Chains A and B, each alone.
Chain A
Amino acid sequence: MRGTDPRSIAGKAPTPERHVALVVVGAGVTGIAAAIEAARAGIEVMLIDEHPIDNDMMAMDAPLCFGQRIDPSVRNRALMLERVVETNPGLASAYEAGVDVQLGTYVWGAFVNGPTVQELPAPMLGLADDRRSWLVGYDRLIVAAGARDVLLGFPGWERAGTLGAGGAAALLVRYRALAARRLVVLGSGALGLQTAALALEHGVEVAGVVEVGARVRGHAATATALAERGVSFYTAHTIHEARGRTGEIESVVLVAVDGTGKPIRGGLKEIACDAVCWAIGLVPSVELLHLVGARLRFVSSLGGWVPEVDARMRTSVPTVFAAGDCAGFHDGRLATPDVAHAQGRWAGLAAAESLGARARSETQHEVPVASPAPDTGPHAYWQAWLDSLIAAGGWEVNVCQCEEVTRRELVETKPPRYLKWDSPQMNARRLATLLRDGPVNQDQIKRLTRAGMGPCQSRRCREQVGLLLAQAAGTTLDRIPLPTFRPPIRPLPLNVLWPADEPAAMRDTWVSWFGIPTQFSPHWTAGMAIDEPTAHARLILSDE
């Protein structure tokens, strides 16, 4: 005798608009290689990429940090689409191989059944463009989502003109829409040098490359070539502040630092520039991998939280593969796109074979692994930068721009300023008192302080919040649990996210809470149902 609960999700599971055998997310070198390889093996493949990104999204620093230095030409969608295609010749090859290529399409969610969800008919992705959202089911998923920018705060970094290396590269190369003329690059590793070279190639002046360490970290030959083109290198320097009128960066003040990152008295230099680009590293984009439940682990030398993958790039979730930068990378690999390509092909083949395609003889290659990291990973380097920024700029600098939370407010776990709260009890609470109850947890502290809770979805502050908390708690980033990612992983308007139509059952049986007729009955009128219409609800209180 099985009843039904018309208010539950049973029977109202979402139906994907389409179902595709293999979806590849990200049309970089890796994703394209994966898509082509699987298509050639006879598999139906959809390749999705969010570029060209719409202007409003760019203005929110999603998915990369564009720092408000965006030329208005990005509003011309047709032109931007043309540029995205033109600068990524692999896309044409994918078309030719029969891949269904979807550009300008955000992947904002991944939904799978698990311990608390059992009603989904298939694993599915939430997709959207600037007008609507829809769902696509898949049998296999390859995530080749690349990497995100890493930013650190300094006085004035809220001004327009603070970019990330990924955002700057996209504006320079794909969009040809960087609205800046004179760039200061922070970081002198491979990424920093590459960013400086890209800027010069595209006619942007490089006002300097700043390095907190005593010497340039990247290849000497590359640095020399840049120096010959007039680029100044400021080693053993950090940013003191950014200056300018009306919310703009018009100059940065650098300060010389000693071996421990402490400012040297009198070592200030002001450099005119209209943009500052953080190029000290990137982090693997593991948002979707987290949402599908793939096991992640922290490996500093691979950039931080990365998926556990087997020799064929398969994650702990058997239907999901991860390849390219989102599976982990290091600075030294920036110069070797062949690894990304090989990983993509490998994942494409593995996914195809898992769908029943016959293995081809040439697949018996060695597993394409990244060459060993040149050093222990970027986190110690980021920490050195952060130490110097704190020494130079102090604790009253915003760590979270969206919610205006300072470094001090973060490590003292202060409630947000808009609460205007003051009490002796609250003043006695800080991170140290919280740590008496358990290990540091970034999600808990973000909910107390609101650092990372804003519209940029913590893209600008996640890493520095983690570093600051780890340092204040006397631990290291790898010992702090991964702060979760929540869907939608792109900030989408209500009227884009909403479904154009809904099953009648969803509309007709919608209630705000469970629809149990007695749940909200006045206790003094036993049995009187007052909640939303509950004609079909049935109470089982006794053996009828």
Chain B
Amino acid sequence: MMSAMATTRGAAVVIVGGGVTGLSAGWWLARAGVEVLVLDKGIVGWEASGRNGGGATHVYSPFGLEEQRLWPQMDELLGYPTEYQPFRIGVALSETQLALARRWAEIGESRGFRWESLDRRQLKELVPIVGDNAIGGTYLHFGGHANPQRTVQAYAWALQDLGGRIVQHTTATGLTQRGGRVTAVETTRGTFGADVVVIAAGPQTGAFAEMLGAWLPLAPARVEMIATEPIPLMRVGGVAGNGLYGRQTLRGNLVYGGGPHEWINVPDMATPEHANTPLVRNLARRLAELFPGAAHVRVIRAWSGLVENTPDGLPVVERLTRPDNVVIATMSSVGFGLSPAVGRAVCELVQHGRCQFADLGALALARFADTPRDWRERAGWAAAPTAVGAAVGGDG
């Protein structure tokens, strides 16, 4: 069966990874009339892209202004609902938290966005479930949030509506190189020829870079979130603070994450189960502290996702010079909100070799040229030794 599919038709641009970055890139390319194919080892957006806080407030980023410009248009551009909602409220329970919330606001202000300081009374009017433990907050007249799963599906569908193709349940395993160029993507279901290849494979992006002789240091980690039953809609759903990120969904659920991550290893191209830990209790505690008025609300599910980070936590979005027909894109664990802009940047890198709307200099791969191979151990970002077989269920 595999060999029969070896002749599968490729595309002008083959994108490895149907996460939010790859799908947005594919959609922008399809909009530009480029023949595009997205490969995913499972279902599109099934990993961290489809299960995150949904925040869309990253004005500090080189993609930040474009992010802010695009989000309000995304529903219309895609033709499908993303549940995008504008504005953010920051709640502070301490002076440290207040300073942090204001710092975020001021960065926005320096880019020309408006914000207001909120006292406790104003905060309670906007967010009735905050308590007397809140000392104040910020109201950002910029930023926002959307539904991650609905958004990835929207990218995927919109891409298909424009003639792009998505091939799911197909794991990319290698890159065929000929004459200094990548000519095809090898997969578990045959080889897909390509003029340009985009690697947007999340934690696996580094492994593909390695195949091309490029050093992309990435450390995968697991992070967790909880969701409550729905409560009445607040005027602004994008409320966060107390060390939590998240939002109230348009259905009314409170969906929040934060706290310690666990550095892990993801062998090969594996797709591990999404496991939770008792950290869900600590998340519940912080959420009840943030919203004492909702402390009685029930948690109905928790989940986890895998994200990857570069050593400085900044993205790598770059068209390689050799081979010169490959674009590498990892957002270093902060990809969802920036996806409309990053997809456009990747599209421009594919089409023009450079991004025309943002300076990507700070995101160049070259900054890791001297990063030692054992950087994870040195930073304390290595996975725990696996000498805990007993807890897995072995006989000890």
The docked-state distance in angstroms from the alpha carbon of A423 to that of B381 is 46
| B64-105 Cβ-contact flags toward A at 8 Å (1 or 0) | 100000000000001111010000000000001000100110
Determine if A512 and B245 form an interchain contact, defined as CB atoms under 8 angstroms apart.
Answer: yes
Q: Do the beta carbons of B298 and A492 come within 8 Å of each other?
A: yes
Q: Mark A434-473, 1 if CB is under 8 A from B, else 0.
A: 0001110100100110100011010000000000000000
Docked-complex contact A487 and B297, CB < 8 angstroms: no
Does A114 reach chain B (CB closer than 8 Å)?
Answer: yes
Please report the C-alpha to C-alpha distance between residue A486 and residue B280 in the assembled complex, in whole angstroms. Answer: 11
Interface size bucket, B side? 35 or more
Closest CB in chain A relative to B75 CB, distance in Å: 8
Instruction: Tell me, yes or no, whether A480 is within 8 Å of chain B by CB.
Output: no
CB proximity of B74 to chain A, nearest CB, Å: 13
Question: Any chain B CB within 8 A of the CB of A259?
Answer: no
What chain B residues lie within 8 Å of A457 (beta carbons)? Answer: 300-301
- Selecting from B25-33, B179-187, B388-396, the interface stretch reads B388-396
On whether the beta carbons of A539 and B379 are closer than 8 Å, the reply is yes
The answer to whether A447 touches B50, judged by C-beta atoms less than 8 angstroms apart, is yes
Task: Decide if A4 touches B81 in the complex (CB within 8 Å).
Answer: no
A514-B153 CB under 8 A given contacts A457-B301, A493-B298, A541-B367: no
Which chain B residue shows the least CB distance to A520? B60
What 0/1 pattern do residues 288 to 331 of B give for CB contact below 8 A with A?
Answer: 10000011111111111010010111100000000000000000
Contact A113 B388 (CB under 8 A): yes
Contact B298 A495 (CB under 8 A): no
B36: CB under 8 A from chain A?
Answer: no
Q: Please judge, given known A-B contacts A111-B276, A318-B395, A530-B107, whether A510 and B294 are in contact too, CB under 8 Å.
A: no
Residues of A within 8 A of B262 (CB): 8-10, 116-119
Interface string of A507-544 (1 = CB under 8 A from B): 00111111011111111001000111100001111110
State the CA gap A438–B45 with chains docked (Å): 14
- Let me know if A114 and B273 touch, CB within 8 A: yes
CB of A343, distance to nearest CB on chain B (Å): 20
- Chain B residue at minimum C-beta to C-beta distance from A133: B281
Count A-B contacts at CB 8 Å.
Answer: 313
Mask: chain B, 157-197; 1 = CB below 8 Å from A; 0 = not = 11001000010110000000000000000000000000000
Point out the residues of chain A lying under 8 angstroms from B298, CB to CB. Answer: 60, 455, 491-494
Given contacts A491-B298, A493-B298, A514-B221, contact A318 B79 (CB under 8 A): no
Contact with A along B130-163 (1 / 0, CB 8 A): 0000000000000000000110010011100100
> Cβ of A403: which chain B residues have Cβ within 8 Å of it?
251
When distances are taken between beta carbons in the complex, the residues of chain B under 8 Å from A512 are: 240, 243-245, 257-259
Task: Give the docked Cα–Cα distance between A159 and B151 (Å).
Answer: 35
In the bound complex, residues from chain B placing their C-beta under 8 Å from that of A73 are none
* Sample (7) of A-B pairs whose CB atoms are under 8 Å apart: A5-B379, A109-B278, A118-B383, A487-B302, A493-B299, A497-B299, A512-B244
Q: A-contacting residues of B (Cβ < 8 Å)? A: 43-44, 46, 50, 58, 60-62, 64, 78-81, 83, 96, 100, 103-104, 107, 110, 149-150, 153, 156-158, 161, 166, 168-169, 221-222, 228-230, 240, 243-245, 250-251, 257-264, 266-267, 270, 272-282, 284-288, 294-304, 306, 309, 311-314, 332-334, 359, 362, 367-368, 370-372, 374-375, 377-386, 388-395
The interface of chain A, by Cβ under 8 A from chain B, is: 1-10, 12, 14, 60, 109, 111-124, 126, 133, 135, 292-293, 317-320, 354, 403, 415-416, 418-419, 421, 423-426, 429, 437-439, 441, 444, 447-448, 450, 454-455, 457, 484, 486-488, 491-495, 497-499, 502, 506, 509-514, 516-523, 526, 530-533, 538-543
